[in-house]
Structure 1
Amino acid sequence: MQHRSLTVVLTAASLLLAAGCSAGGAQPGKDGPSPGAKGSARPGPSSSAPPATGSVQVTGTLATGLDSPWGVALLPGGDLLVGSRDTGRIYRIAADDGRKTALGSVPGVSPGGEGGLLGLAVSATFGADHQVYAYFTTESDNRIARMIYDAKRPAGDQLGAPDTVLRGIPKGHIHNGGRIAFGPDKMLYAGTGETGDKGLAQDKESPAGKILRMTPDGEPVHGNPEADSVVYDYGHRNVQGLAWDGHDRLWASEFGQDTWDELNLIASGRNYGWPEREGKADGGAGGSGFTDPVAQWKTSDASPSGIAYAKGSVWMAGLRGERLWRIPLDGTKPVAAPRAFLKGTYGRLRTVVAAEDGSLWLVTGNTDGRGEPHKGDDRILHLKVT
């Protein structure tokens, strides 16, 4: 197939969208579904808000000895795919006993700094096509490719040749973004970083510092701000967490610089402020066409990576903060202040994934060059949460 090279051109219509005229997207503060949510098979939310305090119980360790784990994808049936940022390898971890099987390596991965093999996702129609998607850094860019996973082949040779669906996402030593996920609309979403070049976040002709929304083939989708662009919103510093709640609203975690990390409610065409603004303006008064975060943290307390939605709350893994944050929600509003769990217990926390039963898989990130690995690192923990 002809691979799509990313070009982004947004017109004055984007300015109207940034001011609040969404092209079919849910608006922050409202309970409507995200674009494409009609016909979604996702279960509805509970009728009552979650408890204000909640709890976390570590019920076991699924796997140990992982090397720079980053991307995690949940397979039908509950097993996990885990990628190694620095080696480019992908493994399958059995959910029942932690058995690890090597699938193979993603060709072309060029690790360095915060780049390498980053996000993983499985196709929304995995049962039929067996496609695994990967976001990774090459010598020239960040890109998204898909590979056919054939579990019947010998271990280490279970991935087909990569088919690049999107290329040309700027790369940097830092801020490569990297999280990918299929939404309830069966479209592919990707969080990108601004590579350390702050101006790219506000540059609508660049895919850096954005959330991208595309078809499984990497093409623009109806409901995006511009019909010929995969750019969904803009004004981000470094997006590394994506999750949908029970009403199919999209949430994203945001690395701040020196002042505030953020949890954002995402809507089509919105401008989330970076680098003009970090965190809430004037105590949350808004203005200037920017969208305020729903919650914010000092960077020393969070530095968030992956997020998940379970039991009425958004759960956010903290790297520098070395803790798991719980943000209980009633619709789009927190019902209580965010609460931290596991502070300093397992070191840096990279990724959190919701299992089908509402429990969580939590992946540590101590072998990424910035942590202090202990015996057994990195590991996958199983959490029971309320």
Structure 2
Amino acid sequence: MAPLARIRLAGTIAATAMCVAAATEAAAQSAPQDGTIVLNEQLQLGDVFSHQTINVVNATGQVTVNTSAQGNQASGAVQNDSIVVQSDQDMRGDAIARSDVTLGGDTGGPVNVVTQAGGNYLAASAYDSELGIEATQSNTGDIVSATSQIGTASARLLSGGSVAASAISNTTAVYGEGSVISGSIDQSNDAVVRSYSRIDSQYIPAEASVTAQTIANAIAVNSGQTSGQNLELNQNSTADFIEAESSANTGNGWNLAARARANANQAVLYNEGGSVVMGSNQSNSSYVRSAATTTAYDYGRVEAHASGAANTLSVGNNDIFVEIDNTQFNEGGVDVTSTFVGTNGYDIYVGAEAVGNQVTGYACSECAGYMDARNSQTNSGDVSARANTTVNGSSRAVITGANAVGNAATFYVSRSGN
């Protein structure tokens, strides 16, 4: 047996591993026995802070702002080989990103502002390979925070734009093509995670959106073209609260939207061309809050939509076999609120969705799929969804909805034509 190549990475902010080796066919859905081993150890003790302050008056072109703060980051890829990624990321400081953009007079071009804050981030990709992953992510810092504040009460955004804030404590993203992905991912978060996005303006005669996204623990696994997955996932959030808030405000807006989404634990798996075997354990005691607010005196189309969840799991396979062993426990409250206040206009859309535990599993859209699912969900936290709409003058259409669910489970196998 050929000796294994070992690469050890250690750092406080970021590390990247790239491994490309000779061709080896990935034939079995099990952990690779030979090939490259990547050992990644990262410890961030201090705070990571990024802040931009911008003042713009009568800009004729676009205004684009990107601000980010990340604690630990690692990425790696393999092609035509086998690799085992052993990663341990520990975030103990704060990660704070903030964008303050003051707009005066007319802004001719679109306004695009993106602010991102993260604790631990791991990405791994495999192409015609076997990928084994053993990942641990822990955040015991005080806060992960992203803030975007744009405009003034007299700002005129003639071409509209988008304003976004995203805060994620732990992220693991895995991608594969013609590959087998196996192993385990463990995430734990004790830090407050918060995103806040806001726009103030006098006039927006174009489409404009304000979004806020907050996740304590996030896992995404996407593989296709004759791939397979065999994974164990563990996510735990014990922070005081997880919060996302967006606010879109104008005197006259043609197409204005505020959207917010907050999740304590989130895992999304998708696969094509092989089997999916996975076990998942999600536990949350954090208070989850999501709020979206839109205000406009005169308006064309306006939207306020917020969603919040303690634990969510989605497992999909566009092939025959899916096995899911899922356990979800939530004792934290979930509070979701969407609000619109306006005077005269046309169409209003206000929605709020809140859930304690949610799991979705599906197999094979075009063949005779098979699913083996075991599911246990326990929710003891309060779950609330509220949609508030106030029209002080007249409007053409008002469409609102609020939906709150303690435990939700959906499993299905679809046939062609169904």
TM category (shorter chain) comes to: under 0.3
Whose radius of gyration is greater, 1 or 2? 2
**Relative CO higher for 1 or 2, CA cutoff 8 Å, sep ≥ 6?**
1
- Give 1 or 2: higher helix fraction: 1
- Give 1 or 2: higher strand fraction: 2
Q: What TM-score results when the alignment is normalised by the length of structure 1?
A: 0.23
Q: What TM-score results when the alignment is normalised by the length of structure 2?
A: 0.22
